[in-house]
Amino acid sequence: MALLGSSQIVGNSSSVKFPASFPAWRRCSSRRSVGFRVFASETQGEPDLSVTVNGLNMPNPFVIGSGPPGTNYKVMKKAFDEGWGAVIAKTVSLDAAKVVNVTPRYARLRADANGSGLGQIIGWQNIELISDRPLETMLQEFKQLKEEYPDRILIASIMEECNKASWEELIDRVEQTGIDAIEINFSCPHGMPERKMGAAVGQDCELLGEVCEWINAKATVPVWAKMTPNITDITKPARVALESGCEGVAAINTIMSVMGINLNTLHPEPCVEGYSTPGGYSAKAVHPIALAKVMSIAQMMKTDFTDKDYSLSAIGGVETGGDAAEFILLGANTVQVCTGVMMHGYDLVGKLCTELKDFMKMHNFSSIEEFRGMSLQYFTTHTELVRMQKEAVQKKKAMKKGLASDKDWTGEGFVKESESMVSN
């Protein structure tokens, strides 16, 4: 692990400004806005979207999430050229020969009745496994990308069986390519659980802690642990990962799901030779669930690790700058997008940047740190909500009874004050 600096969940640290020589393609292009009404002063400069996370400098907080959008050199190069803040490659392991995908492996949920092909896509399911490409091939492409884009952030996503030597070998090999950080896939909900990989580790806090210790004893770059939502309390594994040396956590991975049953054929979807298997659910429909999980982790980090510089990368149903703003308001340093890219393309980042800037202008925020974690303070318990509402009602009733004494009269509110003491 590498203990590099980053910001707290709520911070006011100065942001990194674009230098004059900053390449134009790295500045977020203007497209259409999400509909925010901007009240910022005309003299105010453009909001700064740059972030520094665990010592990693990114031009914006938008990160390609591990999956098909980071599956090979060509698509990762496309992401960098479009201006994404960072790219997390598709998860790799030592032996890709054990990874065999099927087709079709995606299914979609639409907003209209009976799933016709006309409605808006609100849910996406996949039964896709980690990278089926030889590790050596992926490593060569990592190295090539870092040579061509030395100032861009490339993060390797890795997954291995519960074997210390295997984890150490994999970490050593990916680090030799020059990657900037590592994300540990403790969260894939399907595929190879019998090999104690993915969510099989993320759901077992004792095993998770042991594996994280192996990893962080070996790694020399920042390590993020990617959390599974398929667990009762996501803060437990997140806390274990941080206590075991990880510099940050990412949440959430996909939600275990059965997309649906074809009522004509009676077969489940996606259908492979008449059969299917539960898979991972993503896209807009999971966004509220992801917000709740990220909020819980952010609160835990703020309470339990107040003196630590840990990072939080949020994932789940991001298709607009507003979606991203919600995650940042809950404490996220970066926002990952995977399914959104599969649905809208790599140039989605321009729209995300424009819409996030519009939000920032509306509130006169000049940097990400100015509003990161700002909305955490507005969450409380149901018991406390009842108490606050009761107190508010009592206060309103007391006000209707009129002024308590002659000293409370005011000139400007005199008529209303008089009416407040009239008996109905």
Distances (CA, A) of 280 to 98, 270, 283: 20, 12, 10
**Residue 271 bears catalytic tag:** no
What is the phi-psi region of residue 379: left when phi exceeds 0, alpha when psi lies from -120 to 50, beta otherwise? beta
DSSP classification of residue 254: P
Classified as helix, coil or strand, 182 is strand
Classified as helix, coil or strand, 24 is helix
* Structure-block tokens of residue 72: 């090979």
What distance lies between CA 340 and its chain's CA centroid? 12
Pairing between β-strand 181-185 and β-strand 153-158 as defined by DSSP bridges:
parallel
Task: Single out the catalytic residue among 188, 212, 246, 353.
Answer: 188
DSSP classification of residue 13: P
Tell me the backbone φ, ψ of residue 168, rounded to 5 degrees.
-65, -40
User: Residue 138: which of 105, 78, 197, 179 has the closest Cα?
Assistant: 179
Pairing between β-strand 334-337 and β-strand 62-64 as defined by DSSP bridges:
parallel
Burial 387-397 (b: 16+ CB within 10 A, else e): eeeeeeeeeee
Pairing between β-strand 51-53 and β-strand 56-58 as defined by DSSP bridges:
antiparallel
Residues paired with 288 in a beta bridge: none
Cα Rg of the chain, angstroms: 24
Distances (CA, A) of 69 to 154, 312, 327, 336: 13, 21, 21, 11
* Structure-block tokens of residue 282: 């993503």
Query: Is the separation of the CB atoms in 178 and 162 below 8 Å?
Result: no
| Residues acting as catalytic residues | 188
